C-alpha cells in the first residue's frame, strides 16, 4: 500500500502539485484549483497538528468510522469522485495567491518525514494508527490531484 511516509511518493506529489496552474479545470467536483490547494493545505495542517485544532470524532463516525476507514484504505483503489467534505474543510474564497498555496502544501508534504501528532483524531474515522494516516493522506492527496488531471 502506498503511503505519504515514502520519500518517493512525496516527490511524485510535489511534482504534481508544481504542475498545477491558474485556470486548471476540475475533471469532477465544484472546487477551482485555488480552492483545492487551500483545502489541502488546511487538511494536511489538521492531520499534522500545525495549528489550533480541536480533535473530536462525530457521533456518526463513532458508529461507522472504523468500518469505513478499513474499507477506504484496504487496497490501492482511488477514492470515489465527489466524496463530501466536512464543512470545516470547504473553501469559499475563490481567488488568492496560487503559488503561495502550492508552496505551503509542498512544505506540509515534506513535513510528514517528521510526523508526530499523537493527539490526532479524525472527525469521522476517529483515532488512527500512523500507518492508517499514511495511507489516508496518500489517497486524499492523489484524489485531489487527479481531480484536476495532475
| Residue that has been written with the C-alpha cell 516527490 in this structure | 11
CB atoms within 10 A of CB 55: 14
What was the pLDDT predicted at 115?
Answer: 96
Judged against a pLDDT cut of 90, whether residue 16 lies above it is answered with: yes
- For residue 13 the three cell numbers come to 506529489
Judged against a pLDDT cut of 90, whether residue 111 lies above it is answered with: yes
Residues in contact with 34: Cβ distance below 8 Å, sequence separation at least 6, in sequence order:
22, 91, 93, 94, 95, 96, 98, 101
Q: Tens digits of per-residue pLDDT, 26-52? A: 999 999 999 999 999 999 999 999 988
pLDDT band at 9 (very low <50, low <70, confident <90, very high): very high
Asked whether 145 and 16 are in contact (CB, 8 A), the reply is yes
Mean pLDDT of the chain: 95
For residues 74-87, give the mean pLDDT: 88
For residues 78-98, give the mean pLDDT: 90
What was the pLDDT predicted at 122?
Answer: 95
Amino acid at each position: 500500500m502506498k503511503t505519504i511516509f515514502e520519500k518517493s511518493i512525496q516527490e511524485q506529489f510535489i511534482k504534481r502539485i508544481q504542475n498545477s496552474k491558474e485556470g486548471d479545470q476540475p475533471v469532477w467536483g465544484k472546487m477551482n484549483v485555488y480552492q483545492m490547494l487551500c483545502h489541502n493545505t488546511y487538511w494536511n495542517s489538521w492531520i499534522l497538528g500545525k495549528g489550533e485544532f480541536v480533535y473530536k470524532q462525530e457521533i456518526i463516525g463513532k458508529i461507522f468510522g472504523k468500518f469505513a476507514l478499513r474499507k477506504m484504505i484496504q487496497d490501492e483503489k482511488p477514492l470515489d469522485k465527489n466524496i463530501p467534505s466536512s464543512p470545516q474543510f470547504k473553501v469559499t474564497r475563490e481567488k488568492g495567491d496560487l503559488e503561495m498555496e502550492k508552496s505551503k502544501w509542498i512544505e506540509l508534504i515534506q513535513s510528514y518525514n517528521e510526523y508526530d501528532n499523537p493527539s490526532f483524531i479524525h472527525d469521522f474515522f476517529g483515532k488512527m494508527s500512523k500507518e492508517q494516516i499514511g495511507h489516508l493522506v496518500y489517497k486524499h492527496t492523489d484524489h485531489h490531484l487527479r481531480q484536476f488531471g495532475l
